[in-house]
Each structure stands twice: as C-alpha cells, then as structure tokens.
C-alpha cells in the first residue's frame, strides 16, 4: 500500500514541480516571457521627466539657444498626432546641440525615460549610460532615440523640425 501511495504521489508531484500541468499557478521565471497585451501597454503612463510643454508652429519647435548654455539636458513635451511626445535637448561640451526622445528602443515600454548624470544620460530603466557627445548619433539599443544630431541654429534659436519628431512618435 505504501508503495502504491508513493508511486501515485510521484506521478502527481512531477508535473506540478516541472510546470507541465495544465493551468500551472507558477509564475514565469522571467518577466519578459509573457508579452503584454495592447491594453496593458496603453495603461502604462510616462513617468520620466515630462519637461515643459511646447507647441509646434509652422511645422517646427523653436527654443532659445541660451537655455542650453548650462550644459544640462532640458526636457520638453509636445502634442503630435494625438500623442504626447517627450524629448530632451542638450548642448554638449563641444558646443553641439543635440535632441533625442526621452525613450530608447529597448526600454521604451517602461515609459521611464532618461536622466542626466554629469556628462552622461542614464536610462532610468536599465541604468545604461551614454555620453552627451553620442546623443542622437546612434539608433537602436538602449540609447536615447535620435531626433537630430545637428540641430539648426538660427538667430539664437534652436529649431526642431516636426518631421524629425515624427520619427520618434512610435516610442510614446
């Protein structure tokens, strides 16, 4: 009798322990094993630095270039095709103005954006660091999605074209 009970116990325990049973209550070992539903993605609100709301006028955003003389990333958001798009602009140590989405291709779904740490932008999700001089120069991976590495400067104004912003809308 003990032998039969032991065999039955083993036959029941093996599928439960290995996760082979139908409707296993065990969570996936990796949170990335399950793809989120479209509804779940839409529920996630952007929690990164939202910045200052700016308007697009005549298909461009115009910002005072003196704002960036401090070497700090300045954060902005704008409405574009029914979505709020978050981005930042920074002037690197070489005097080049750079603009990028406050999101990266890898961690965009977390909606946490980037923060500045000295001469680096740091992903708030994974902690990867990117030198300011590389902002807006590389696509893919976990670096800020480029808007434009060579922004137009005219009459003391930094100009961001709406066509450049259209390229990042899918990250929000």
Local confidence pLDDT in tens for the 172 residues of the chain: 555 545 554 545 444 443 433 333 333 343 334 444 444 445 568 888 899 999 999 999 999 999 999 999 999 999 999 999 999 999 999 999 999 999 988 887 888 899 999 999 999 988 899 999 999 988 877 889 999 877 889 999 999 999 999 999 998 8
The answer to whether the CB of 77 falls within 8 A of the CB of 85 is yes
Query: 94 and 131 in one domain?
Result: yes
Query: 147 and 65 in one domain?
Result: yes
Determine the pLDDT at residue 43: 53
Q: How many domains does the chain have?
A: 2
The answer to whether the CB of 133 falls within 8 A of the CB of 92 is yes
Determine the pLDDT at residue 151: 86
Contacts of 51-58 with CB under 8 Å at 24 or more apart are 51/75, 51/76, 51/77, 51/86, 51/87, 51/88, 51/102, 52/76, 52/77, 53/77, 53/78, 54/78, 55/79, 56/80, 56/162, 56/165
Query: 50 and 9 in one domain?
Result: no
Query: 50 and 35 in one domain?
Result: no
Query: 72 and 27 in one domain?
Result: no
What are the DSSP calls for 133-170, one per residue? GGTTT--SSSSEEEEESS-EEETTEEEEEHHHHHTTGG
Query: 152 and 77 in one domain?
Result: yes
Query: 54 and 30 in one domain?
Result: no
Predicted TM-score (pTM) of the model is: 0.72
Query: 120 and 35 in one domain?
Result: no
Query: 69 and 115 in one domain?
Result: yes
Determine the pLDDT at residue 148: 83
Query: 50 and 23 in one domain?
Result: no
Share of the chain above pLDDT 90, in %: 52
Determine the pLDDT at residue 143: 85
Q: Residue 52 belongs to a domain with what CATH number?
A: 2.102.10
Query: Which residues are CB-neighbours of 38 under 8 A, at least 6 positions away?
Result: none
In which domain, by residue range, is 120 found?
A: 45-171
pLDDT digits (tens, 9 = 90+) for 56-100: 999 999 999 999 999 999 999 999 999 999 999 999 999 999 999
Query: 167 and 124 in one domain?
Result: yes
Query: 120 and 54 in one domain?
Result: yes
Tokens of 45: 């609100």
Determine the pLDDT at residue 40: 46
Tokens of 102: 């406050």
9 three-class SS: helix
């Amino acid at each position: 009798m003990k032998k039969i009970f032991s065999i039955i116990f083993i036959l029941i325990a093996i599928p439960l322990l290995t996760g082979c049973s139908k409707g296993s209550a065990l969570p996936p070992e990796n949170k990335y094993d399950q793809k989120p539903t479209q509804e779940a993605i839409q529920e996630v609100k952007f929690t990164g630095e939202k910045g200052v709301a700016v308007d697009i006028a005549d298909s461009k955003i115009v910002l005072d270039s003196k704002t960036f003389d401090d070497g700090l990333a300045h954060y902005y958001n704008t409405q574009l095709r029914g979505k709020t798009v978050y981005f930042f602009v920074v002037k690197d140590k070489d005097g080049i103005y750079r603009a990028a989405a406050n999101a990266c291709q890898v961690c965009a779904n977390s909606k946490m954006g980037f923060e500045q740490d000295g001469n680096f932008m740091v992903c708030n999700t994974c902690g990867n660091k990117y030198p300011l001089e590389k902002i807006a120069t590389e696509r893919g991976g976990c670096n800020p999605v480029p808007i434009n590495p060579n922004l137009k400067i005219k009459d003391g104004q930094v100009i961001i074209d709406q066509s450049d912003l259209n390229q990042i809308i899918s990250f929000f």
